[in-house]
Amino acid sequence: MTDGIRTCQSCGMPMSAKEQFGTEADGALSKDYCTYCYRDGAFTAPGITIDEMAKIGGGMMAQMYAIPPEKAIAFTKEQISCLKRWAGREIALCESCGMPLARDEDAGTEADGSLSVKYCTYCYRDGGFIEPELTREQAIEQYAPMMAANLGMPLEKAKEMVGQYLSTLPRWRG
């Protein structure tokens, strides 16, 4: 649990510090959920729907990164729909770009042709990264304009958001 960052499987918040993790009934730290979502072995808001959760998370994101609220909420819903609480199972995210590996065709391939359990098909094929020399800074430059266009946000804010997000992914944690 101390080996880096986990994503809360309810709200999508990255968790690294101990106090960010929720707690089980016996006081142990939850492996899956953050302290805002889960305490003493139960969800703090057991009846919340994915739409309500997306509204809260999207609302914060809209403020933080100057995104039109309805776009931020739709984006948040899409992101959290891959989490265990909403999908019914934990879906692995590409450790390079964060794309959910929901279906076999989303996964990259190892040298022997088997599917990668860590990386997506856009990042990793035949056992290697498609862009092995890509740095975190270049990745930000590459992803931020798409993000800015999709979400209708200023490019500078998109860079900030992508940078923040990449720092939660194993490939860039360094």
- Contact residues toward Zn ion (CB under 5 A) are 8, 10-11, 13, 34, 37, 94, 96-97, 99, 120, 123
- Of 59 and 66, which CB lies nearer to Zn ion in the complex structure? 59
CB of 74 to Zn ion, least distance (A): 19
- Of 94 and 161, which CB lies nearer to Zn ion in the complex structure? 94
| Residue linked to tokens 């879906």 | 91
Token pair for 15: 């968790």
Distance CA 154, CA 172 (A): 23
CB of 169 to Zn ion, least distance (A): 9
Distance CA 40, CA 147 (A): 37
Token pair for 108: 């990259």
State which amino acid sits at residue 150. Answer: N
- Of 128 and 154, which CB lies nearer to Zn ion in the complex structure? 128
Residue 87 phi, psi (nearest 5):
-90, -15
- Of 44 and 157, which CB lies nearer to Zn ion in the complex structure? 44
CB of 20 to Zn ion, least distance (A): 9
Distance CA 18, CA 30 (A): 10
CB of 142 to Zn ion, least distance (A): 12
